[in-house]
Amino acid sequence: MTQPEKTVEQRLAALEAAVAALKPVDISNDQYADFKIRRCPPRWLESGGPDYTGQPISTTSPEFLDALAGFLTWQAEKDELRNHSYVNGKGETVFPAPFARRDAARARAFAAKMRANAAKGAPPRRPAGPASYENDANDPIPF
């Protein structure tokens, strides 16, 4: 089954949304800017990158955030093509594509902020999580 042709207005709206999503947003007063990662991009994991699932984006690297932004943008495009929606707990129909695009813009903004801080000489933030521990054969605690 082929999809019907889009009108010029629909194509223009999609193009404007895509261009707007590529611009970093102002995250200084955004309470949702440091969102937790729900799923790592599969290509990031395949390339040997660490799994940041469940961590806030501020604890990752700019390279990961670039990959995440690309993944979220791709996901939004797929959701728009399928006209994907769901009904939330209030009975409202929700289209997730705009939220994915907003999170992609937030990830780009955090990546730009991290790179700017690194250029100023600020030390990079350490990723959250358990400290690295090397198992020593003489250690009385085996874990």
114: CB partners within 8 A, 6+ apart: 61, 62, 65, 124, 125
Q: How confident is the model at residue 23 (pLDDT cuts 50, 70, 90)?
A: low
| Residue 95: Cβ-neighbour burial (10 angstroms; 0-12, 13-18, 19+) | middle
Mean pLDDT across 20-41: 76
Mean pLDDT across 24-40: 78
* CA gap 23, 138 in Å, rounded: 54
- Per-residue pLDDT reduced to its tens digit, 119-128: 877 665 554 4
Whole-model pTM: value is 0.67
* CA gap 38, 27 in Å, rounded: 19
Longest dimension (CA), the chain: 71
Higher per-residue pLDDT: 64 or 8: 64
- Per-residue pLDDT reduced to its tens digit, 49-93: 999 999 999 899 999 999 999 999 999 999 988 988 889 999 999
| pLDDT over 70 at 141, yes or no | no
- Cβ atoms within 10 Å, residue 21: 22
Of the chain, the percentage scoring pLDDT greater than 70 comes to 73
Strand intervals (E) in the chain? 86-87, 93-94
Tokens of 81: 């093509």
User: Tell me, what's the pLDDT at 28?
Assistant: 67
Element (H, E) at 64: helix 62-82
Using alpha carbons, select from 35, 36, 37, 106 the residue that is nearest to residue 69: 106
User: Tell me, what's the pLDDT at 56?
Assistant: 93
| pLDDT averaged over every residue in the chain | 80
- Cβ atoms within 10 Å, residue 143: 5
* CA gap 140, 138 in Å, rounded: 6
